[in-house]
Amino acid sequence: MMNDMKQIKHHLTEPLLMGYAAGTLPEAFNLVVATHISMCDSCRAALAEYDAVGGEVMLDSEPVDVAEDALAATLAMIDGGLPAEKPMPARAKDTVFPGPLQDYVNGDLDSLKWRKVGGGVSQLVLKTSKDASVRLLRIPAGTAVPDHGHRGTELTLVLQGAFTDEEDRFGAGDVEVANEDLHHTPVAEKGVDCICLAATDAPLLFNGLVPRIAQKFIGI
Amino acid sequence: MLTEPNALRKADALPPPVTYGDHKAQPVRKTRNTKVTPEATAKRMAWVVQVYAVRDNKDRKAFAELFGYFAPRVKSFLMKSGASPDLAEECTQEVMATLWNKAHMFDPTKASVSTWIFTIARNRKIDILRKQRRPEPEDLPWGPEAEPDQVEAMGLQQETEQLGQALATLPAEQRKLIERAYFGELTHSQIAAETGLPLGTIKSRIRLALDRLRHAMK
């Protein structure tokens, strides 16, 4: 998982890191952020800074009295034994899915229930809270994803392979942060299939009638 | 050494925090212009010692001291994030109980006690208030756990103190924006659009933990 980190060129934005530290992003975005950080040391270090900012903001907030018996109640809770946390399932090493993503998918690339969405592209929508959505995309080498724009923010993290669009080339570990100004046509590089984790907080806008009709049915 | 919790029980037993041993290894710090008093760093190191006392001796007195300082601030943070007073009270107690249970996971070379408690409170907030799962990054393969180095720990506590002071001395409007971002009053797109948000200021004035983390990851 750490092999590609030196080649990562496109990182998370400061607002995303801050939002993740603050705990205010939609779950779908948190998943992309946590997955990228699992692959990227510099964003991990930047996150530590934003966590520290949160700690200082908390320290400086006007203290609010706790209940008179709060300490006793907490000690009683400790003595009673806290409910055991659900043990995290063991995380595999030899997979294109970093740890946080493994908690959301059942199996590896070829055992997943991919759904074709046209043009050879397949997707798998992951279950998260409704304020945003996140999916895995499998784009065959050399294939283009239909030209589309965005109403909100779209985060696309490359897990395997690479794609190129009007902006740049995005390889494993790179994340593209697109907003409503960007209309792009990502094309997967030749070689291996491009696997991406893509999150959006609004439906994508496809240019062209057929994709728009298709969108109604496949829910991109 | 910090492996013996009692050795550092009293803040005044600490060596002067400005003593780094090898100044050449720490060139970045010489350029800092925010003054951090030895007392402020000693206070943070005292929290570290209290967490160690909880971890090693299940020390209720040390826990009570941490509780007295942090619980009212955790509750404040949760209420400002939208929790009712009752829910905030309940969550605060759970956060502090988690501190007790996870004391063995605390590493003062990677976080100040304030940072660590904040992350526990934040995760609780996401769980309870937003009813969402919280995807966490993969742990780094740190290798065999070495006992945290005290000089390194003190350096990090000092840097966090510096960060706190830098935040406190930001112009009121900018500080307010940072607070609103952490209390959930700004979405990430609002943060992105908010030109008054001093993200650049934070980044350039405070290089908190970066060097240490990078060093630790080599």
Tell me how far apart the alpha carbons of residues B113 and B46 are, in angstroms, rounded to a whole number.
10
Q: Which residues contact B17 (CB under 8 A, 6 or more apart)?
A: B38, B41, B42, B45, B154, B158
What is the tens place of the pLDDT at every residue in A74-101? 999 999 987 666 666 677 777 899 999 9
- Model confidence at A161: pLDDT above 80: yes
What is the tens place of the pLDDT at every residue in A23-50? 999 999 999 999 999 999 989 988 998 9
Element of type H or E holding A214: helix A209-218
How many of the other CB atoms lie within 10 Å of CB of A214?
17
Chain A residues within 8 A of B202 when measuring between CB atoms: 49, 53
- Model confidence at B13: pLDDT above 60: no
- Which stretch of A12-21, A38-47, B25-34 has the lowest confidence by average pLDDT? B25-34
Picking from B134, B189, B213, the nearest residue to A30 by CB comes out as B134
Task: Give the closest-approach CA distance of B67 to chain A in angstroms.
Answer: 7
Task: Give the closest-approach CA distance of A143 to chain B in angstroms.
Answer: 30
Q: What is the DSSP string of B19-87?
A: --S-GGG-GGGGG--S---HHHHHHHHHHHHHHHHHHHH--HHHHHHHHHHHHHHHHHHHHHTT--HHH
pLDDT at B163: 84
Q: For residue A34, which of A123, A97, A95 has the smallest C-alpha distance?
A: A97
pLDDT at A184: 80
pLDDT at B33: 40
- Model confidence at B5: pLDDT above 70: no
pTM of the model: 0.83
Give the mean pLDDT of B82-110. Answer: 95
pLDDT at A158: 97
Q: For residue B79, which of B89, B69, B70 has the smallest C-alpha distance?
A: B89
* Confidence at B158, pLDDT banded by 50, 70, 90: confident
Q: Which residue has the tokens 């934003």?
A: A50
Q: CA Rg, chain A, in Å?
A: 20
Task: Give the closest-approach CA distance of B201 to chain A in angstroms.
Answer: 12
How many of the other CB atoms lie within 10 Å of CB of A84?
6
What percentage of residues in chain B have a pLDDT greater than 90? 41
Give the mean pLDDT of A103-130. Answer: 89
* Confidence at B105, pLDDT banded by 50, 70, 90: very high
Which amino acid makes up residue A62?
A: E
pLDDT at A166: 87
Tell me how far apart the alpha carbons of residues B135 and B133 are, in angstroms, rounded to a whole number.
6
Alpha-carbon distances of B155 from A204, B20, B109, rounded to whole Å: 47, 8, 8
What is the tens place of the pLDDT at every residue in A170-215? 999 999 998 877 778 889 999 999 999 999 987 655 555 555 555 5
Whether B196 contacts chain A with CB within 8 A: no
pLDDT at B21: 33
pLDDT at A66: 97
**Which residues 106-165 on chain B approach chain A with CB closer than 8 angstroms?**
110-112, 114-119, 121-123, 125-126, 130-141, 160, 163-164
Handedness of CA B126, A174, B115, B31 (dihedral sign): negative
Q: Which residues contact B160 (CB under 8 A, 6 or more apart)?
A: A52, A55, A56, B44, B111, B112, B114, B115, B208, B209
Q: For residue B106, which of B157, B61, B72 has the smallest C-alpha distance?
A: B157
- Model confidence at A11: pLDDT above 90: yes
Answer yes or no: do B75 and A58 touch at CB < 8 A.
Answer: no
Tell me how far apart the alpha carbons of residues A96 and A109 are, in angstroms, rounded to a whole number.
8
Give the mean pLDDT of B135-148. Answer: 71
Inter-residue contact A137 to A204 (CB < 8 Å): no
What is the tens place of the pLDDT at every residue in B35-85? 678 888 899 999 999 999 999 999 999 999 999 999 999 999 999 999 999
pLDDT at A84: 67
How many of the other CB atoms lie within 10 Å of CB of B27?
9
Inter-residue contact B186 to A13 (CB < 8 Å): no
Task: Give the closest-approach CA distance of A18 to chain B in angstroms.
Answer: 8
pLDDT at B216: 45
Q: Which residue has the higher pLDDT, A56 or A205?
A: A56
Tell me how far apart the alpha carbons of residues B48 and B148 are, in angstroms, rounded to a whole number.
11
Average pLDDT, chain A: 86
Tell me how far apart the alpha carbons of residues B180 and B184 are, in angstroms, rounded to a whole number.
6
- Quote ipTM for the complex: 0.86
Answer yes or no: do A56 and B60 touch at CB < 8 A.
Answer: no
* Confidence at B118, pLDDT banded by 50, 70, 90: very high
pLDDT at B141: 62
Tell me how far apart the alpha carbons of residues B89 and B83 are, in angstroms, rounded to a whole number.
9
Q: What is the DSSP string of B156-200?
A: HHHHHHHHHHHHHTS-HHHHHHHHHHHTT-S-HHHHHH-TT--HH
